[in-house]
Every structure is written in C-alpha cells, then in structure tokens.
Amino acid sequence: MNQQSMADVTQAPALALSGITRTFSEGDQPLHILNGADFTLAAGEMVALVAPSGTGKSTLLHIAGLLEKPDSGDVFIGGRNCSDLNDEARTEIRRNDIGFVYQFHHLLPEFTALENIMMPQMIAGLARKVAAERAQELLDYMRMGARAKHRPSELSGGEQQRVAVARAVANAPRVLLLDEPTGNLDPVTANYVFDALSALVRASRVATLFATHNLELAARMDRAITLQDGKIAPFKPQG
C-alpha cells in the first residue's frame, strides 16, 4: 500500500455505506427495504438509528456488519471496500473489526461472565492469560468486576447486557453495532447500561450505531438517523 492509499484509509470513516439497496419478495410483490441508503460513521461517534419496526433497521445493521449482502451498493470498514470479499475475508473482518450486541444477550450459559468475554479474544488467537486480563479490565470498567465468576443465570438482565457489551468490544473493533440492546430493560436499568456503554465508547473511540426505540437514549447520542423510503435521513422527533 502506497503512502497516499495509507493516508486515505487512516482518514476514512470507520463505517461507510454507499448506495445500499435490498429488496425482498412478499408474495408476488417486491418489497424495497433499502433503496440507495448512504451513511458514514466516524471513530468515537455514537449514532442512534430510530425507525418503526419493519422499515429495515435490522437489515441495515446486518449489511453494515457483513452478515448479509446488499443487492447493490458498497460497504466500507475503515476505508476498505468489503463488498466483493469472499466469505472467509468477511468473517475475518467481522471477528477483528466489528462488534455486535443484540436485544437478547446471547451469552453462553455454561460459562462465567469472564469466560464469555475471553471467548472472542481466544478465538482471535490471544493467549488465555492475556484474554483473562483484558476481560477483567472490561468487567471492572463496566462495574461488573465482582460478578466475573457468575454465570448468566446468576446475573440480572442489565448485568447480562453489560457483559454482552464488554464481549462485543473485547477485540477492540472499529465498529460496534447494537440492535435494541435495552429493549427488554426497564428505564432505570436501560439508562445504567447506556451510561456504561457510553463511557466505554468514548474511552475506546469505537464507532457506534445504536438501533433503538428509546427517544431519551437517542437524544443523548451525537446524532440520530432514521429510514425513510429506504434511504437514511436525519431523525426529527415529533412535537
């Protein structure tokens, strides 16, 4: 890579979507979920994605996270065009550069909080001791240090989501994608989880796209976007 292209990658957004289209079949009729969606996300930026159910939020997150391919358009992670990569290369980028948190935490029930956070690090090749130290640091940061040896069944819903967030950032990804991570939590717990997440995002400079119906949380992020007619637009609350 020459110096010019290295500079381009360094200055590139953490995530960029260009002209993304995605159409599904509903009976005999095509359903245009995404229709030329464009979006950029900078390092350290927290953006809320607020849109009604069925408008394509999860599809957009899956495409941004390289879990699904668009019908057309390009996905850039750290300036690298991932659209034409093979499955092996896409898997490697997901493992190293992208973190995911869902509405349901998907923690492995037979492992402790510490071991759940160690897992992606060890899959990426880190030694067990190094992974354990990193996992404990993240738990401490999330105010979960005393719960390190507890299994998911021994944790509250908010505690489980904080472990899920720590696991998602364990490999220091460029991009963190969250799909309604506080949707099953009461307002107080949702705010507590968001506070911990926000502090972690600011400290690590990970670019964060956070799909949510919670307008109070959306208002606390750097900006909010929505989906209108398959395109991304600024979100403007009613009233």
The pLDDT confidence band at residue 34, using thresholds 50, 70 and 90, is: very high
Interatomic CA distance for residues 113 and 111, integer angstroms: 7
Residue 217 is encoded by which pair of tokens?
A: 């949380």
Residue 88 is encoded by which pair of tokens?
A: 């092996």
Residue 62 is encoded by which pair of tokens?
A: 């899956």
pLDDT at 1 (0 to 100): 39
Residue 6 has pLDDT above 50, yes or no: no
Interatomic CA distance for residues 9 and 91, integer angstroms: 20
Instruction: Quick: pLDDT tens for 58-72.
Output: 899 999 999 999 999
pLDDT at 2 (0 to 100): 43
Kindly list the domain boundaries of the chain, sorted by start residue.
15-104+157-234
The pLDDT confidence band at residue 239, using thresholds 50, 70 and 90, is: low
Taking a C-beta distance cutoff of 8 angstroms, is the pair 23, 30 a contact? yes
Interatomic CA distance for residues 98 and 172, integer angstroms: 8
Burial of 183 (0-12, 13-18, 19+ CB in 10 A): middle
Q: Which region among 2-11, 115-124, 129-138, 219-228 has the lowest average model confidence (pLDDT)?
A: 2-11
Interatomic CA distance for residues 48 and 218, integer angstroms: 5
CATH number attached to the domain at 15-104+157-234:
3.40.50.300
The pLDDT confidence band at residue 155, using thresholds 50, 70 and 90, is: very high
